[in-house]
Structure 1
Amino acid sequence: MTTETTTPVRRRGGPTKGDQREAQILEAARGLLGDRSVNDLTVDAIAKAAGVTRTAFYFYFPTKHAVVAAMLDGLWEEFGATHAWLSSTGPDVAGLREHHRQTAAVWHEHREILTCTMGPVGYEPLVEWVEKARSRYDDALTAKIQRDREAGLAPGGVDAAVLADMVSDLRTARFRLMARSSGAQLDKALDELTEVVLRMIYGEAPHA
């Protein structure tokens, strides 16, 4: 009878060289988006900023658009993690303030890619991602407004979907400004945004 021996599988103890190289490329693209649009981004510029050859770039990403898509994939989850307030009941002032703080933190960390989504964009997957992210927030806020109105916790008035769309416009504009704010300036901006959103939805700004 023979006895089979199995060589144990070696577990990865941390990021591989490939993981690190991919992260370098993503970070380089983020930096470049700080002063140019997605349309002006080139593979050559990304490769140079990442310190890799054009050939090495194509080993990890087939196109510059694939780099942008990789950055957006993570953002979808990060924004979703900030949405707890949207399932709450009533104003929940503290919850809304925390929701805004978390969202501002995502904008601060990823301001380059998010800022480039604000202007005219010719890259269709990016346009679709922005529309999907906007719809996810607007639909959830519309549902919350309707629930709170039915429970007598918010006044009637402007159609819930229209109101949610207006709140969304305000938030996007303010978070773009907050992306480069910190300390007391950021705290003040978060307080102001929270108060205005509460007034828009509930007719007043309830105390926490």
Structure 2
Amino acid sequence: MSRLLARLALVAGLLAAGPASAQTTGTPADHDALRRLMADAVRVVDDRDYATARRILAEPFVSTIETQQTFTDFEKLKAAFEDLYTRPVLRMKTIRFAAEADDFARIREGRYAIAQGPTREHFELADGRTFDVAGRWTAVASEENGAWKIEAIHMGVNYLDNPVLAAIEKSVVWFAAGGVALGVVLGFIGGWVFGRRRRAA
């Protein structure tokens, strides 16, 4: 009898805990607004939409991007992003960004929301190569005058399994191999010219 009561108590406890653990903070309108905020952030990356970026970023804000550079100044953040499309090495043609949330955002008193989830970025380089990189994001948003804005966002990728770094490493290897080959050729030509001069003398 005591064993049966213990089992019933366990089941009752699980049933009681289930709905509570599934409950979320904030209103449905809050979560709809936060989903729109995430969609806007994705559009900023895909379309280089800096007007939207200004609108959805709080002031002040802090942003740490995949290179682990941290920005608190909008113009410097914009310049770093534009550099991806003008740099001489691994210059980007397009970036397509997808983000999901692990769960509903946790909305705290004071109108702050915390959320995190996985990302998938598709890079197309100017030379035609493409890379898909998986990562993670964590963000803190706050409500200002009825609008949710990003206070802080941190992006991260797995640097131990990263196709972009693999491409850089391959480029370095080819550059080094090319330098060695050029040195061998120049050495051969120099030796041949020097040998001819000695024979002529």
Which structure has the highest helix share of the two? 1
TM superposition score normalised by structure 2: 0.27
Question: Greater RCO between the two (CA within 8 Å, min separation 6)?
Answer: 1
Structure ID, larger Rg: 2
